[in-house]
Amino acid sequence: MLHNKKYVSIKLNEPKLKKRNRELSFLIDMSNFLATPVEPEALLEGALSMVLEHFSLKFGRIYLMDEGGESLSLVAHHGIEIAGLEKVSINEGFTGKAARTRSFIAQYVSQLEDKQRAALLEKKGLLINICVPLISRRKVGGVMNVASTEIIHLDQNKIDLFTTVGNQLAVAANNAKLYTELKQSVKTLKEKQDMIKYFTYSMAHDLKSPAIGVYGLTRLLQKKYGDQLDERGQTYCKQILKTSEQMVVLVEKLNAYISTKESPMNFEKINIKEVMEGIKIEVSSLLKERGVIWSEANYLPEIVADRVAVSRVFRNFVDNALKYGGKNLANIRIGYEEQPKYHVLSFSDDGDGIKEKDREKVFERFQRNGSSKGISGSGLGLAIVREVAERHGGRVWIDPETIRGATFHMTISKDLTVTELSP
């Protein structure tokens, strides 16, 4: 006995405490199970088995409300023949009444209104029939129907437990339905994406040969018969050449974008300095012609990356500087900074730069710098750059503090490992 008057001693009822703990444990187990992302039917089959086991019952059914709200369809059952029980109207029978009245109902089988049904259940040895409405957000989503071959003593705690489980099932059934719908939507979207991807690839592949053919034939026409064409004919010929060349470039960019996005990355050790030296040789004549000075950081390291992909990206940065830098372009510089988790490469030029409003947009597919009017391009180059950066665990962005020209930064993760190729 406690002498402090602030406290009262309470003698614990051990059997009741054990019973309560068992009920709480059951509810926790049920909650954990119902959180599993599976199909509604499989979820409710498992939940029904747990209910029957906890209450020591052998027979049970779970119905879900149809879209119209006028009938219930069987989705889970155990221990009972279901012929003729697949669908129940809310205006008939024991199960329909529970849905209609939103009420917990327990009744002796012998007292069922449907005497034919009562006789059938009695023949199976069933004495008690219990119906629990499945209610979520004040809406009846279905009914759980369980039956016993023995007399069940229903106290308020047991009724509350049935009701709580019923509410859990209602929420879980609704979530499972949404999960199934989401899976179907994702599947449908994936199928549509695959169709678009296949169409794009096929289109790009099929267009390349005709575009090259038109370009080649037009050049041949110009070479052999150009002197026989009048001024207008020669103009048309030049225009066809220009347009067909643009088509070839666009198709190649489309193929490059698809390849970058879909093809597996082949990570290997590459020397950035060697890669940049190769690109410098490729554009050397253009650098000399325009008087552009090429400079690099003193240290360009060896990294793990996909050689083809990063080479394409580096070439793209250089090509963009030469193509969009304008008449004021005088310098192209490749920089490098080492961070704990990333290699940071920078590509700077002192050309015309990129307007602030265009800095994010240029990384989108088929989007171009607003100042590039009159300059041919596909609008895919920087989209490819972003895709490659992301597949290397990094990102790409335009330095907002560059006063003159443009500076692109690209990060490549240091966590990449060399790809193990099959022999």
DSSP symbols for 49-61: HHHHHHTT--EEE
Q: Report, as an integer, the average pLDDT of 273-300.
A: 92
Q: Residue 7: what pLDDT? A: 57
55/37 Cα distance (integer angstroms): 25
Query: 207: pLDDT confidence band, cut at 50, 70 and 90?
Result: low
CATH of residue 269 = 3.30.565.10
Domain enclosing residue 380, as ranges: 265-413
Q: Residue 271: what pLDDT? A: 94
Those residues whose C-beta lies under 8 Å from the C-beta of residue 354, and which sit 6 or more positions away, are: 362, 369, 371, 398, 406
Same domain for 39 and 151, yes or no, is yes
More confident site: 371 or 336: 336
- Return the ∠ at Cα 397 (arms to 392 and 399), rounded to 5°: 140
Query: 217: pLDDT confidence band, cut at 50, 70 and 90?
Result: confident
Are 393 and 416 a contacting pair, CB within 8 Å?
Answer: yes
CATH of residue 101 = 3.30.450.40
Same domain for 40 and 134, yes or no, is yes
pLDDT digits (tens, 9 = 90+) for 67-84: 888 888 888 888 877 777
Q: Residue 253: what pLDDT? A: 63
HSE-CB at 181 with a 13 A cutoff on CA atoms is 6
Same domain for 39 and 173, yes or no, is yes
How far does Cα 6 stand from its chain's mean position? 58
Q: Residue 378: what pLDDT? A: 45
Domain boundary among 116, 151, 183: 183
Is 216 among the domain residues?
A: no
249/74 Cα distance (integer angstroms): 60
Please write down the long-range contacts of 378-384, taking CB distance under 8 Å and 24 or more positions apart.
Answer: 378/249, 378/250, 378/253, 378/254, 380/250, 380/253, 380/254, 380/256, 380/257, 381/253, 381/316, 381/319, 381/320, 382/316, 382/320, 383/257, 384/253, 384/256, 384/257, 384/260, 384/312, 384/313, 384/316
Q: Residue 374: what pLDDT? A: 43
- Return the ∠ at Cα 330 (arms to 325 and 336), rounded to 5°: 85
**pLDDT exceeding 70 applies to what percent of the chain?**
83
Same domain for 280 and 407, yes or no, is yes
pLDDT digits (tens, 9 = 90+) for 249-264: 666 666 665 665 666 7
Across 14-23, 140-149, 280-289, 323-332, least confident range: 14-23
Residue 208 pLDDT more than 70?
no
Are 214 and 240 a contacting pair, CB within 8 Å?
Answer: yes
State the DSSP code for 227: G
More confident site: 331 or 93: 331
State the DSSP code for 109: G
More confident site: 124 or 133: 133
Same domain for 283 and 373, yes or no, is yes
Query: 366: pLDDT confidence band, cut at 50, 70 and 90?
Result: very low
Q: Residue 372: what pLDDT? A: 45
Same domain for 27 and 167, yes or no, is yes
Q: Residue 249: what pLDDT? A: 66
Q: Residue 42: what pLDDT? A: 83
Domain boundary among 183, 211, 234: 183
Is 9 among the domain residues?
A: no
Same domain for 145 and 273, yes or no, is no
Domain boundary among 183, 203, 232: 183
Is 258 among the domain residues?
A: no
90/106 Cα distance (integer angstroms): 17
As a dihedral over the C-alpha atoms of residue 356, residue 359, residue 362, residue 368, rounded to 10 degrees, the angle is 20
Mean pLDDT, the chain, as a whole number? 80
Is 246 among the domain residues?
A: no
